[in-house]
Homo-oligomer: A and B are copies of this chain.
């Protein structure tokens, strides 16, 4: 586990020496559990790059982004894993476009894919805005309640026994 040469290196352009992750490492880095990662594999949401002979799973470093992304969609947005799979599918459009480009695919098809992705992304933004507004107004209620509670406290007068001033 100490075979990483330089942990502070910018891991972006050089993918040749990027170390694959064991399931435990990936889970720890992403703040989740190995059980969750195996379950996601079971339902076809996150595939390891390789299954070794002894059954051990290996994940590419990019899997970390995917895992955190899934968690965001789950916890912050409230999507089910089925919905998340649909989102991720349309998000793989860049890969699809690259493949199309390599295959000299028709422009019309590429445009269609892009427009789909734009629409899906806009729907997601819409949902995020909705959530943000509801969360924000809920927060405002809570702040108002805090003020009311503190007013009630003042109403009771200063504390009887000053144990330690502050």
Contacts and interface: CB of A to CB of B under 8 A. Distances in A.
Nearest to A74: B78
Interface stretch (A1-9, A24-32, A40-48, A136-144): A136-144
Given A75-B78, A76-B134, A156 B114 contact: yes
B142 A128 contact: yes
Contact of A76 (B107, B121, B135): B135
Interface residues on A, range: 35 or more
Interface of A: 72, 75-78, 97, 107-108, 110-111, 114-115, 117-118, 121-122, 124-125, 128-129, 131-132, 134-136, 138-139, 142-143, 145-146, 149-150, 152-153, 156-157, 159-160
Contact of A108 (B124, B128, B129, B160): B160
Contacts of A150: 118
Given A118-B153, A121-B145, A153-B114, A139 B135 contact: no
Contacts of A132: 132, 135-136, 139
14 contacts: A76-B131, A76-B134, A76-B138, A111-B156, A114-B152, A114-B156, A115-B153, A121-B142, A124-B142, A125-B142, A128-B138, A128-B142, A132-B132, A135-B135
